[in-house]
C-alpha cells in the first residue's frame, strides 16, 4: 500500500480523499494556490505545498508544479479528485514517468473515454446501446444536415472534447443547423482546443441514470447500482439520488449487468461511471467518467462501500475483495449540491463565511471544507458543500432532508439552500416524477 498520497485538488473533495487516506494509515500532501493557504485541506494534511497563484491554470492545472510538489515530498501516488487534472491522460502518463502511481485508470482508458466520439465507438463495441447519431466526427455542415435529416429533429450538436455541460447545442430544424454547427465548432475549439463535433438525437424527456462500476487489474468488475442525476441546471447536476424512482428491480439489474459487462470487455480498471439517458423504458449510453464523481456519496450511503478507499486500493494493485453477489444495496440516499450563489439568479456569492453550522444526526452526512471565518475565493467552482441523507426509503429520506436543510447555517454569503428547501415542496420532486429538463423549467417558472 502507498505510504504517502499527494492530493491534487482542493475543497471538499481534497478533504474527502484526505479522510480516506487517514483511515488507511496513509500520509497526505496537500497542494494549494495562494488563494487557498487557509483552506481546510491544507490545515489537515500532513504536509502542504503552495503550487502557484489563484488562477487554476497556474496552480491546480499546472502539471509541472503538481509533479514537483509530489517529487519533493516523496509521495508515491497522486489522487486527482474530480475536475482539474482528473481526466488528463497526459498528466497520468507524467505521474507514471516520475515513478509514482496515478490513482485512476490506465491513461489509454482516460484518453479513449475523454473523447466522446471514441467513447461512443467503444461503448458500441462493448455492447452498449447509444443515442442514435453520427458515426465519428462530422466532416462538414453538409454531413451534419444529411445526418440530422436521417435521425430526425431535434438533434444535439456535441463537442467531442466537451465536458461540464459545455459544448452542446440543441438544433430544432434544418434552418438552424448551419449556424449552430459553425458557432459550436468555434466554441469547442476555443474552450477545449478541439473543434470536432458529432450529432445525436436530442431526447425530449429522458432521465439521467448512471451506473457506478469498480474494477481491479485482474478482470474482476462489479457494479454498485445506479444514481439518478436528472435534476440539472445548464446540463449540470444539482440533486442526485439512488436508487432511481424510475426503475424497478429487473430494470436495475439489467442495466447494472450491462454496464459491468461493458467495463469488463473494455479491460477497464479503477472506479468508473457509465452515464445513460433513459426514456420510454430504454437506456442510451452518453459517456463514461473515468474518475471519482461529485455524487459518489449517494452510492456510498446505500452500499456501505468507501469508494475512495477502494479506488486507492485498486490503484495499488489490490484485487476486489468481493464479487457482485456480495453487493447489498440498502435504503435510499439523496445528495444536494449546495453552492455559494444567489438561489434565484445563481450569481456567484464568494466572500467570508461569518457563521457555519452543519446539520447532523442519524443518516445525515455533510461533505464540505467550510468553517466559520473561511473566505470563499471568487476564483473556483461555487460548490461549497454536499448534503447527503440516507433513510430506509425515499419518504424517510425526504423528511430527513427537510430537517437537515433547516438545521444548516451558512452566514455571510448567499447559498442555494433555499432552492433545495423549495424543491421539497414541489409535488413532482416529492413524487419522483422528473426528467432532465424539469428543474430548468421549475427555476424559470420561479423567476417569472
Ligand atoms: P458532459 O460531459 O458535459 O457532462 P454529457 O454528455 O454527460 O456531457 O451530458 C450532460 C447532460 O446533457 C446529460 O445529463 C443530459 O442532461 C444532457 N444531454 C446529453 N446528451 C443528450 C441528448 N442526446 N439528448 C438530451 N439531453 C442530452
pLDDT in tens, 26-64: 999 999 999 999 999 999 999 999 999 999 999 999 999
pLDDT higher than threshold 90 for residue 164: no
Tell me the three state secondary structure of residue 416.
coil
C-alpha cell at 355: 457563521
Q: What's residue 207's pLDDT?
A: 98
* % of the chain exceeding 90 in pLDDT: 98
Domains and CATH numbers, the chain: 4-103 (3.40.50.20), 132-201 (3.30.1490.20), 207-447 (3.30.470.20)
Question: CA-CA-CA-CA torsion for 255, 261, 266, 272, nearest 10 degrees?
Answer: 50
Q: Please report which confidence band the pLDDT of residue 375 belongs to, taking 50, 70 and 90 as the band edges.
A: very high
Probe target for ligand 1 pocket from 187, 199, 207, 235, with the most ligand atoms within 8 Å of CB: 235
Q: What's residue 208's pLDDT?
A: 98
Average pLDDT over residues 75-90: 98
pTM across the whole model: 0.97
- DSSP secondary structure letter of residue 324: G
pLDDT higher than threshold 90 for residue 289: yes
Tell me the three state secondary structure of residue 319.
coil
Residue owning the nearest CA to atom 23 of ligand 1: 202
C-alpha cell at 105: 485508470
Q: 428 CA distance to ligand 1 centroid (A)?
A: 22
pLDDT in tens, 253-279: 999 999 999 999 999 999 999 999 999
Compute how many other C-beta atoms are within 10 angstroms of the C-beta atom of residue 89. Answer: 22
Q: 234 CA distance to ligand 1 centroid (A)?
A: 10
The angle at the Cα of 63, spanning 60 to 64, to the nearest 5 degrees, equals 120
Residues 404 and 116: their CA atoms lie apart, in Å, by: 38
Q: What's residue 268's pLDDT?
A: 98
Q: What's residue 448's pLDDT?
A: 87
> What angle in degrees, to the nearest 10, is found between the helix axes of 116-125 and 107-114?
110
Residues 304 and 298: their CA atoms lie apart, in Å, by: 10
pLDDT higher than threshold 90 for residue 441: yes
CA gyration radius for the chain?
21
Which residue is catalytic, options 112, 185, 227, 291? 291
Compute how many other C-beta atoms are within 10 angstroms of the C-beta atom of residue 25. Answer: 9
Q: What's residue 163's pLDDT?
A: 87
Nearest Cα neighbor of 383 from 105, 81, 102 is 81
Residue owning the nearest CA to atom 9 of ligand 1: 165
Nearest Cα neighbor of 78 from 90, 64, 67 is 67
Residues 439 and 237: their CA atoms lie apart, in Å, by: 10
Upstream peptide bond of 154 is cis (omega within 30 degrees of 0): yes
Sequence-distant (6+) residues with CB within 8 A of 32 are 10, 39, 41, 42, 48, 49, 50, 51, 59
Q: Residue 146: is it exposed, middle or buried by C-beta count within 10 angstroms (0-12/13-18/19+)?
A: exposed
Active site includes 227?
A: no
Q: What's residue 255's pLDDT?
A: 97
Residue owning the nearest CA to atom 19 of ligand 1: 286
Q: 46 CA distance to ligand 1 centroid (A)?
A: 39
Which atom number of ligand 1 is nearest to the Cα of residue 202? 24
Q: 68 CA distance to ligand 1 centroid (A)?
A: 36
Residue owning the nearest CA to atom 17 of ligand 1: 235
Probe target for ligand 1 pocket from 172, 278, 286, with the most ligand atoms within 8 Å of CB: 286
pLDDT in tens, 169-193: 999 999 999 999 999 999 999 999 9
DSSP per-residue codes, 226-285: EEEEEEEETTEEEEEEES-TT--HHHHHHHHHHHHHHHHHHT--EEEEEEEEEETTEEEE
* % of the chain exceeding 70 in pLDDT: 100
Which atom number of ligand 1 is nearest to the Cα of residue 437? 16
DSSP per-residue codes, 349-365: --EE--EEE---STTEE
Question: Which residues form ligand 1's pocket by a CB distance below 6 Å?
Answer: 131, 156, 162-165, 200-203, 208, 232, 235, 275, 277, 286-287, 436
Mean per-residue pLDDT of the chain: 97
pLDDT higher than threshold 90 for residue 338: yes
Q: 349 CA distance to ligand 1 centroid (A)?
A: 27
Q: Which residues of 356-371 are buried (b: 16+ CB within 10 A; e: fewer)?
A: bebbeeebbbbbbbbe
For residue 183, report the phi and psi dihedrals to the nearest 5 degrees.
-70, -40
Amino acid at each position: 500500500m502507498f505510504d504517502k498520497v499527494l492530493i491534487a485538488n482542493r475543497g471538499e473533495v481534497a478533504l474527502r480523499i484526505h479522510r480516506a487516506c487517514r483511515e488507511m494509515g496513509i500520509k497526505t500532501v496537500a497542494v494549494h494556490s495562494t488563494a487557498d493557504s487557509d483552506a481546510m485541506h491544507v490545515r489537515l494534511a500532513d504536509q502542504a505545498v503552495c503550487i502557484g497563484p489563484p488562477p487554476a491554470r497556474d496552480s491546480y492545472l499546472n502539471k509541472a508544479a503538481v509533479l514537483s510538489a509530489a517529487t519533493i515530498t516523496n509521495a508515491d501516488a497522486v489522487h486527482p479528485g474530480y475536475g482539474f487534472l482528473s481526466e488528463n491522460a497526459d498528466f497520468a502518463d507524467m505521474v507514471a514517468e516520475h515513478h509514482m502511481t496515478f490513482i485512476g485508470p490506465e491513461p489509454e482508458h482516460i484518453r479513449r473515454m475523454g473523447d466522446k466520439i471514441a467513447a461512443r465507438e467503444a461503448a458500441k463495441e462493448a455492447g452498449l446501446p447509444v443515442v442514435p447519431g453520427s458515426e465519428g466526427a462530422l466532416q462538414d455542415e453538409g454531413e451534419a444536415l444529411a445526418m440530422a435529416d436521417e435521425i430526425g429533429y431535434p438533434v444535439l450538436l456535441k463537442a467531442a472534447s466537451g465536458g461540464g455541460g459545455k459544448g452542446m447545442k440543441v438544433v430544432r430544424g434544418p434552418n438552424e443547423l448551419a449556424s449552430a454547427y459553425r458557432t459550436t465548432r468555434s466554441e469547442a475549439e476555443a474552450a477545449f482546443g478541439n473543434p470536432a463535433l458529432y450529432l445525436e438525437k436530442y431526447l425530449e424527456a429522458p432521465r439521467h441514470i448512471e451506473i457506478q462500476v469498480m474494477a481491479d487489474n485482474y478482470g474482476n468488475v462489479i457494479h454498485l447500482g445506479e444514481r439518478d442525476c436528472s435534476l440539472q441546471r445548464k446540463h449540470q447536476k444539482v440533486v442526485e439520488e439512488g436508487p432511481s424512482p424510475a426503475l424497478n428491480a429487473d430494470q436495475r439489474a439489467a442495466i447494472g449487468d450491462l454496464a459491468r459487462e461493458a467495463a469488463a470487455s473494455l479491460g477497464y480498471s479503477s472506479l468508473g461511471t457509465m452515464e445513460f439517458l433513459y426514456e420510454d423504458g430504454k437506456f442510451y449510453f452518453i459517456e463514461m467518467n473515468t474518475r471519482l464523481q461529485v455524487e459518489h456519496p449517494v452510492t456510498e450511503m446505500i452500499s456501505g462501500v468507501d469508494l475512495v478507499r477502494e479506488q486507492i486500493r485498486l490503484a495499488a494493485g489490490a484485487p476486489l475483495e468481493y464479487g457482485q453477489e456480495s453487493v447489498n444495496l440498502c435504503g435510499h440516499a439523496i445528495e444536494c449540491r449546495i453552492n455559494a450563489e444567489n438561489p434565484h439568479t445563481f450569481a456567484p456569492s464568494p466572500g467570508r463565511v461569518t457563521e457555519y453550522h452543519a446539520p447532523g444526526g442519524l443518516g445525515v452526512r455533510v461533505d464540505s471544507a467550510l468553517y466559520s471565518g473561511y473566505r470563499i475565493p471568487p476564483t473556483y467552482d461555487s460548490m461549497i458543500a454536499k448534503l447527503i441523507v440516507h433513510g430506509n426509503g425515499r419518504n424517510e429520506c425526504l423528511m430527513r432532508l427537510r430537517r437537515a436543510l433547516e438545521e444548516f447555517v451558512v452566514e455571510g454569503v448567499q447559498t442555494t439552500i433555499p432552492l433545495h428547501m423549495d424543491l421539497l415542496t414541489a409535488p413532482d420532486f416529492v413524487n419522483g416524477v422528473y426528467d432532465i429538463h424539469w428543474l430548468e423549467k421549475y427555476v424559470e417558472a420561479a423567476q417569472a
